[in-house]
Amino acid sequence: MQFGDKIRAARQAAEMTQEALADKIGVSRRTIALYETNKRKPKNAGTIIDLAKALNVSTDYFMTDDELKQIQEQEVFLEQAGEQYGNRGKAQARLILDQTSALFAGGGLSEDDKEAFFQTMTEIYFDAKAKAKKYTPNKYRNDDK
Protein backbone atom coordinates (compact mmCIF):
# COMPACT_ATOMS: atom_id res chain seq x y z
CA MET A 1 0.00 0.00 0.00
CA GLN A 2 1.43 3.39 -0.97
CA PHE A 3 1.60 6.42 1.31
CA GLY A 4 -1.48 8.08 -0.19
CA ASP A 5 -3.51 4.89 0.01
CA LYS A 6 -2.70 4.67 3.72
CA ILE A 7 -3.90 8.23 4.28
CA ARG A 8 -7.15 7.58 2.43
CA ALA A 9 -7.78 4.32 4.29
CA ALA A 10 -7.12 5.89 7.70
CA ARG A 11 -9.22 8.95 6.86
CA GLN A 12 -12.14 6.83 5.73
CA ALA A 13 -11.82 4.58 8.79
CA ALA A 14 -12.01 7.73 10.93
CA GLU A 15 -15.09 8.78 8.92
CA MET A 16 -13.43 12.08 8.08
CA THR A 17 -13.69 14.12 4.87
CA GLN A 18 -10.65 15.45 3.06
CA GLU A 19 -11.76 18.93 4.05
CA ALA A 20 -11.99 18.02 7.75
CA LEU A 21 -8.55 16.39 7.69
CA ALA A 22 -7.08 19.38 5.90
CA ASP A 23 -8.54 21.77 8.47
CA LYS A 24 -7.26 19.62 11.32
CA ILE A 25 -3.64 19.64 10.13
CA GLY A 26 -3.58 23.11 8.57
CA VAL A 27 -3.27 22.36 4.85
CA SER A 28 -5.61 22.75 1.90
CA ARG A 29 -8.09 20.08 0.80
CA ARG A 30 -6.19 19.98 -2.51
CA THR A 31 -3.02 19.03 -0.64
CA ILE A 32 -4.82 16.09 0.99
CA ALA A 33 -6.15 15.06 -2.44
CA LEU A 34 -2.60 15.17 -3.86
CA TYR A 35 -1.34 13.06 -0.96
CA GLU A 36 -4.10 10.50 -1.42
CA THR A 37 -3.48 10.17 -5.17
CA ASN A 38 0.26 9.71 -4.50
CA LYS A 39 1.11 12.81 -6.51
CA ARG A 40 2.77 14.47 -3.53
CA LYS A 41 4.22 13.49 -0.18
CA PRO A 42 4.60 15.71 2.87
CA LYS A 43 7.89 17.59 2.75
CA ASN A 44 8.47 17.60 6.48
CA ALA A 45 8.19 15.28 9.42
CA GLY A 46 5.85 17.65 11.25
CA THR A 47 3.13 17.13 8.65
CA ILE A 48 3.46 13.36 8.91
CA ILE A 49 3.22 13.57 12.69
CA ASP A 50 0.18 15.86 12.39
CA LEU A 51 -1.46 13.40 9.96
CA ALA A 52 -0.85 10.51 12.34
CA LYS A 53 -2.34 12.43 15.28
CA ALA A 54 -5.35 13.64 13.29
CA LEU A 55 -6.08 10.12 12.02
CA ASN A 56 -5.33 8.48 15.38
CA VAL A 57 -2.61 6.23 13.99
CA SER A 58 1.08 5.82 14.73
CA THR A 59 3.68 7.43 12.47
CA ASP A 60 4.83 3.83 11.89
CA TYR A 61 1.62 3.37 9.93
CA PHE A 62 2.98 5.77 7.30
CA MET A 63 6.70 5.07 7.47
CA THR A 64 9.46 3.45 9.48
CA ASP A 65 11.37 5.26 12.20
CA ASP A 66 14.40 5.31 9.88
CA GLU A 67 12.42 7.02 7.11
CA LEU A 68 11.07 9.60 9.56
CA LYS A 69 14.59 10.20 10.92
CA GLN A 70 15.87 10.68 7.37
CA ILE A 71 13.23 13.33 6.68
CA GLN A 72 14.11 15.12 9.92
CA GLU A 73 17.82 15.10 8.99
CA GLN A 74 16.97 16.54 5.59
CA GLU A 75 14.99 19.31 7.29
CA VAL A 76 18.03 20.17 9.44
CA PHE A 77 20.21 20.24 6.31
CA LEU A 78 17.78 22.59 4.56
CA GLU A 79 17.57 24.86 7.62
CA GLN A 80 21.35 25.05 7.86
CA ALA A 81 21.62 25.83 4.16
CA GLY A 82 19.02 28.56 4.55
CA GLU A 83 20.69 30.07 7.60
CA GLN A 84 24.13 30.11 6.02
CA TYR A 85 23.28 30.91 2.40
CA GLY A 86 19.79 32.37 2.40
CA ASN A 87 16.80 31.34 0.33
CA ARG A 88 18.90 30.65 -2.75
CA GLY A 89 21.17 28.29 -0.79
CA LYS A 90 18.14 26.54 0.65
CA ALA A 91 16.62 26.16 -2.83
CA GLN A 92 19.89 24.70 -4.11
CA ALA A 93 19.99 22.26 -1.20
CA ARG A 94 16.36 21.25 -1.89
CA LEU A 95 17.28 20.62 -5.54
CA ILE A 96 20.16 18.38 -4.47
CA LEU A 97 17.84 16.38 -2.21
CA ASP A 98 15.19 16.05 -4.91
CA GLN A 99 17.66 14.97 -7.57
CA THR A 100 19.53 12.50 -5.40
CA SER A 101 16.32 10.91 -4.10
CA ALA A 102 15.88 9.47 -7.59
CA LEU A 103 18.97 7.37 -6.94
CA PHE A 104 17.11 5.49 -4.22
CA ALA A 105 13.85 5.00 -6.11
CA GLY A 106 14.65 1.44 -7.12
CA GLY A 107 15.80 0.38 -3.67
CA GLY A 108 19.03 -1.57 -3.45
CA LEU A 109 20.77 0.55 -0.79
CA SER A 110 20.56 -0.24 2.87
CA GLU A 111 19.44 2.44 5.32
CA ASP A 112 23.05 2.73 6.56
CA ASP A 113 24.29 3.28 3.00
CA LYS A 114 21.59 5.89 2.39
CA GLU A 115 22.59 7.65 5.61
CA ALA A 116 26.27 7.61 4.63
CA PHE A 117 25.40 8.96 1.19
CA PHE A 118 23.30 11.77 2.69
CA GLN A 119 26.08 12.73 5.12
CA THR A 120 28.60 12.80 2.27
CA MET A 121 26.31 14.95 0.11
CA THR A 122 25.79 17.35 3.03
CA GLU A 123 29.54 17.72 3.50
CA ILE A 124 30.11 18.20 -0.23
CA TYR A 125 27.41 20.88 -0.39
CA PHE A 126 28.77 22.96 2.49
CA ASP A 127 32.38 22.50 1.32
CA ALA A 128 31.50 23.61 -2.21
CA LYS A 129 29.60 26.65 -0.92
CA ALA A 130 32.57 27.66 1.26
CA LYS A 131 35.01 27.32 -1.65
CA ALA A 132 32.71 29.22 -4.01
CA LYS A 133 32.48 32.10 -1.55
CA LYS A 134 35.94 33.33 -2.52
CA TYR A 135 34.60 34.02 -6.03
CA THR A 136 31.67 36.09 -4.75
CA PRO A 137 32.19 39.84 -5.30
CA ASN A 138 32.81 41.69 -2.02
CA LYS A 139 29.66 43.77 -2.32
CA TYR A 140 27.54 40.58 -2.19
CA ARG A 141 29.41 38.91 0.67
CA ASN A 142 27.95 38.65 4.11
CA ASP A 143 31.17 37.85 5.98
CA ASP A 144 29.63 37.79 9.44
CA LYS A 145 28.01 34.42 8.72
Enumerate the domain spans of the chain. 3-61, 65-140
**Ramachandran category for residue 56: left, alpha or beta (phi over 0 → left; psi -120 to 50 → alpha):** left
pTM above 0.85, yes or no: no
Angle at CA 18, nearest 5°, toward 14 and 20? 70
> What does the alpha-carbon distance between residue 50 and residue 24 come to, in Å, rounded to a whole number?
8
- Tens of pLDDT, residue by residue over 58-100, are 988 888 877 778 888 888 999 999 999 899 989 998 888 877 7
| pLDDT surpasses 50 at 135 | yes
> What does the alpha-carbon distance between residue 81 and residue 84 come to, in Å, rounded to a whole number?
5
Helix, strand, coil percentages, rounded to 5, for the chain: 75, 0, 25
> What does the alpha-carbon distance between residue 21 and residue 51 come to, in Å, rounded to a whole number?
8
pLDDT recorded at residue 144:
47
Top-level class of domain 3-61: mainly alpha
pLDDT recorded at residue 70:
82
How many residues appear in the chain? 145
